[in-house]
Amino acid sequence: MIWTIYIIILVYFALGSIGFYFINKKRTAQQARKNIVKLATYFVIVNIIFFSIIFDPRIFRILCLVIIIAGCFELIKLFVKSNYRKKLFFLLFLAGFGIFSYAFYFFGGIDKEVILFTFIIISIFDSFSQISGQLWGNNKLLSDVSPNKTTEGLTGGVIVTMVSSILLRNLADFSTVNALWMAAGIILFAIFGDLMASWYKRQYNKKDFSRLIPGHGGFIDRFDSLITAGAWVALISQI
């Protein structure tokens, strides 16, 4: 079953690569190279997290801690670079990040099949939202918070993800209804995490949190959806 899931992941990456091929045809050479670096880095990240979950979930929990620490560092770094502007906003946001991070850390300790289901659903949603948005996006979703988000991107990501949740339901022994319900919750919290991260950057007039991950805007930029959606899954797993 696990290797079947991995083959499915590779198929999705192949489809994503085809999508990026058509996207890059409309981009400058520099933009195309950036997209290639981003896709290659993301492929490495997905493999690291996938195999950490499969071989020893304790490794994944360590990765959760690394993500939390790096994310906290990035939040503080932007605040310091702004000469300590908007102190109350920073403190409230840091507190919220701490709450979600606490739950996210415990997400790393739940059933590994549920962790894997959650991670794959988030990865599919993130990837195909971006691909759909860059291929067909015309209508901005929340331009003041996240200028690159479009309704077409969101729609494409949701459709592909919800269909994928049905195909992947046996991974965590979900019924079709439970798989769809879980996927819907994961998507909602993934969107929330992404928008909150974008909002924080806008408050400090920054495009990226850091350059710690090649082709991406930092640890929070890459893992914001995983933190918030993972926190939600950890919470409902206790109910």
Please state the pTM of the whole predicted model. 0.93
Tokens standing for residue 54 = 């499969």
pLDDT tens per residue, range 138-166: 788 776 777 778 888 999 999 999 999 99
In contact, 103 and 231? CB cutoff 8 Å? yes
pLDDT at position 7 over 80: yes
Of residues 134, 164, 132, the one with CA closest to residue 24: 134
pLDDT attached to residue 82: 93
Residues in the chain: 239
pLDDT attached to residue 53: 92
Q: What share of the chain is helix, strand, coil (3-state, %, to 5)?
A: 80, 5, 20
pLDDT tens per residue, range 187-221: 999 999 999 999 999 999 988 899 889 888 899 99
CA separation, residue 141 to residues 34, 75, 116, 126 (Å): 24, 24, 29, 15
In contact, 160 and 16? CB cutoff 8 Å? no
DSSP state string for 54-75: HH-HHHHHHHHHHHHHHHHHHH
pLDDT attached to residue 110: 93
pLDDT attached to residue 5: 84
What average pLDDT score do residues 44-49 get?
94
Domain that holds residue 171: 2-237
pLDDT tens per residue, range 48-64: 999 999 988 889 999 99
In the chain, how many domains are there? Answer: 1
